[in-house]
Amino acid sequence: MSQPKEAEFWRWQEYHRIMPDKKWNNKDIITAGVDVGSVGSKAAIMVNGEAYSWGIIRTGSNSPESAKKALDYALEGTGLKVSDLKYIVGTGYGRVNVPMANKAITEIACHAKGANYIWGSSVRTVLDVGGQDIKAIRIDETGRVVSFLMNDKCAAGTGRGMEVFADLLQIPIEQIGEISLKVEKEPEPVSCTCVAFAKTEAMGLLRKGWTKEKVLAAYTRAMAVRMANLINRVGLEKELVITGGQSKNIGIVRRIETILGVKTLTMPNWREEGSLDPMVAGALGAASLARALYEKAQKG
């Protein structure tokens, strides 16, 4: 008898999208950004600096292969080939391992540019919550980085930390935000946010009679406090946006807004056709910088 497959609550959906009503021809400047993150690999294609298509997959153990897979996924169904791409920028944790890239640029610059592209010139502060790190970035109206910090020493509050929690509480990762908001009163944040000790912490609280919702609320609250501290360190300036995988966690987003007393700019509804996804902000920013670099090279 075969064992029933264990549910994988941490697993988020890989997908790809082509923007409707967008066409390309050979005269267009077609560029790509490949963002190899620690947990997810994202590739985005831009036609004349406008988002055209993208693909998101889980990063495997081999970065160059993940980069190639993500790019192929973004190109799927577009009729484009890698050779049609005028310039490719690699970014993210694994950026030096993007073999087809013309240039590697830090994810800081790419996220700044990507947030500027998705939300427009009013964005001044970007919080990027990735799989293994958290970045707070202050930018100007052109998407240039003014000040930033990156916390990659600790996984607490990162996407990976949330995946561990989703698995522990047996709640699908994509519902974790909603469920964390289903508490009548916000509990005190957990004192120990360490991912390695998450199990001990969560089990202790569950044994005390806390509901899953309450445990999740307390953990999410603690994460949001950490993130708010990072934002305050680079200096909060309106408008604020959140990018990276955790931008889809409504529990994190709402709590940061409460703590800082500012609203974030409305998230594009990424599930809808024709909508941008904040998770690909880095890849879009990379593709946008790729276009600028290509044009600069053409001018000589």
Partner 1 sequence: MITHYGYCDGSGEYYIVIDSDKCTGCGKCVQKCPQSALKLETEFIDLEDKTVAAISEEHRKKIRYTCDSCNPESNFTPCILACEAKAISCVWNTQ
Nearer to partner 1, 183 or 256 (CB): 256
- Cα 261–chain centre separation: 23
Candidate ranges 173-181, 242-250, 255-263, 288-296; the one touching partner 1 (CB under 8 A): 288-296
Q: Would you say 221 and 187 are in contact if contact means Cβ atoms under 8 Å apart?
A: yes
Q: Residue 136, Cβ neighbours under 10 Å: how many?
A: 24
CB 259 within 8 A of CB 89: no
Among 8, 76, 141, 152, binds partner 1 (CB under 8 A): 152
Among 48, 121, 147, 269, binds partner 1 (CB under 8 A): 147
Handedness of CA 208, 214, 219, 224 (dihedral sign): negative
> CB 296 → partner 1: shortest distance, Å?
6
Contact assessment for residue 167 and residue 9, using Cβ atoms and an 8 Å cutoff:
yes
Query: DSSP code of 11?
Result: P
For partner 1, what does the binding mask look like between residues 195 and 214, x meaning CB under 8 A? --------------------
Residues contacting residue 182 through CB under 8 Å, at least 6 positions apart: 213
Using a 10 angstrom Cβ sphere, with 0-12 exposed, 13-18 middle and 19 or more buried, the burial of residue 188 is: exposed
Say whether residue 259 binds partner 1 (CB under 8 A): no
Site for partner 1 in 158-197 (CB under 8 A): none
- Between CA 300 and CA 295 the distance in angstroms is 9
CB 291 within 8 A of CB 55: no
Of 78 and 106, nearer to partner 1 (C-beta) is 106
CB 275 within 8 A of CB 24: no
* Residue 246 Cβ vs partner 1, minimum distance, rounded to whole Å: 18
Q: What CA–CA distances, in Å, run from 297 to 101, 143, 293, 300? A: 15, 21, 6, 5
Binding mask 213-252 for partner 1 (x = CB under 8 A): -------------x--xx--xx------------------
Pick 65 or 140: Cβ nearer partner 1: 140
Stretch that binds partner 1, among 48-56, 151-159, 204-212, 253-261 (CB under 8 A): 151-159
- Is 188:218 a contact under the CB 8 Å cutoff? yes
Among 153, 185, 208, 299, binds partner 1 (CB under 8 A): 153
Beta carbon nearer to partner 1, 202 or 290:
290
Q: Which of 62, 99, 122, 144 binds partner 1 (CB under 8 A)?
A: 144
How many residues make contact with partner 1 (CB under 8 A)? 23
Backbone dihedral angles phi then psi of residue 146, each to the nearest 5 degrees: -100, -45
Site string for partner 1, 101-140 (x = CB under 8 A): ----xx--x-------------------------------
Task: Assess contact for 235 and 272: CB atoms under 8 A.
Answer: no
Which part of the chain contacts partner 1 (CB under 8 A), choosing from 206-214, 236-244, 276-284, 292-300?
292-300
Collapsed DSSP state (helix, strand, coil) of residue 281: helix
Footprint on this chain of partner 1 (rule: CB under 8 A):
105-106, 109, 144-154, 226, 229-230, 233-234, 289, 292-293, 296
